[in-house]
Amino acid sequence: MTEQLEPMPSDWQRALAVVAHPDDLEYGCSAAVAGWTDGGREVTYLLATRGEAGIDTIAPHECAPLREREQRASAAAVGVRAVEFLDHRDGVIEYGTALRRDIAAAIRRHRPELLITLNHRDTWGGVAWNTPDHRAVGRAALDAAGDAGNRWIFPELAEQGLHPWDGVRWVAVAGTDRPTHAVDATAGFERSVQSLLAHRTYIEVLTDEDPEAYCRTFLSGATGASAERFGGRPAVAFEVFAR
């Protein structure tokens, strides 16, 4: 029998999701977010870029505000009101102390117990090469959970009134090929379709398919793939690193 995924920890109140681009959370994760916000939990989105290099036919200066708007609508569809952008440059995000500092600052501001990010490894499932932005942001988020709690790393943050927060108990990585935990996607599924569909400009360029059919097919495939390891229930899977 395939090893079953554990239910995600539920004894927390605040989560911060840190990803590189608009749409990163909507390709698979947002059904879990809808379930969490239903339960009265606070979820904040932090995006390293505005996804301005994501659409070949639209120049970055026009693309950035458009994708920001779509991301805010997308977040609202699953009950997330706070969406912040770090304004690193799309496509060339550098892993390093500047990125770790920006994420650590956000962790200190929002004081989450759960940090969420996207696949930080080289590949998707050992098959497709991951993008440098996803690798950089995923790794920096994992590292920043520790940075945020240490007053001697980035002491300039404390001078700005951002005092250490060592309360991140788990970092949950979505889109991983080594999942350990999962969240039932049933209740949040329809809203997750709407959240992905909110990235309409991006999706219309990506596919000739009807956008809603495309979103529904993608997300039911993704949540269905985890079902056999989660008691037959469609699920959003995460690799959870405990701290």
Instruction: Annotate 141-191 with DSSP letters as a single string.
Output: HHHHHHHTT-TTSSHHHHHTT--------EEEEES-SS--EEEE-TTTHHH
- Interface with Zn ion: number of residues (CB under 5 A): 3
Nearer to Zn ion, 102 or 133 (CB): 133
Least Å from the CB of residue 15 to Zn ion: 19
User: Quick one: tokens of 241?
Assistant: 């690193």
Nearer to Zn ion, 20 or 236 (CB): 20
* Residues in a beta bridge with 84: 46
Tokens 């539920």 sit at which residue?
10
Least Å from the CB of residue 201 to Zn ion: 15
Least Å from the CB of residue 121 to Zn ion: 14
Least Å from the CB of residue 73 to Zn ion: 18
Least Å from the CB of residue 24 to Zn ion: 4
Provide the CA 233 distance to its chain's centre, in angstroms: 22
Site for Zn ion in 19-78 (CB under 5 A): 20-21, 24
Q: Nearest to Zn ion by Cβ — which residue?
A: 21
Segment lying near Zn ion (by CB under 5 A), choices 12-20, 93-101, 176-184, 209-217: 12-20
Nearer to Zn ion, 117 or 157 (CB): 117
Give dist(CA 42, CA 200) in Å, integer.
Answer: 26
Nearer to Zn ion, 53 or 148 (CB): 53
Could you tell me the maximum CA-CA distance found in the chain, to the nearest angstrom? 54
Residue 120 touching Zn ion (CB under 5 A): no
Nearer to Zn ion, 20 or 240 (CB): 20
Least Å from the CB of residue 134 to Zn ion: 6
Nearer to Zn ion, 20 or 148 (CB): 20
CA angle 173–174–175, rounded 5-degree value? 125
Least Å from the CB of residue 33 to Zn ion: 16
Nearer to Zn ion, 117 or 230 (CB): 117
Residue 143 touching Zn ion (CB under 5 A): no
Segment lying near Zn ion (by CB under 5 A), choices 17-25, 164-172, 200-208, 230-238: 17-25
Q: State the residues that interact with Zn ion by CB under 5 A.
A: 20-21, 24
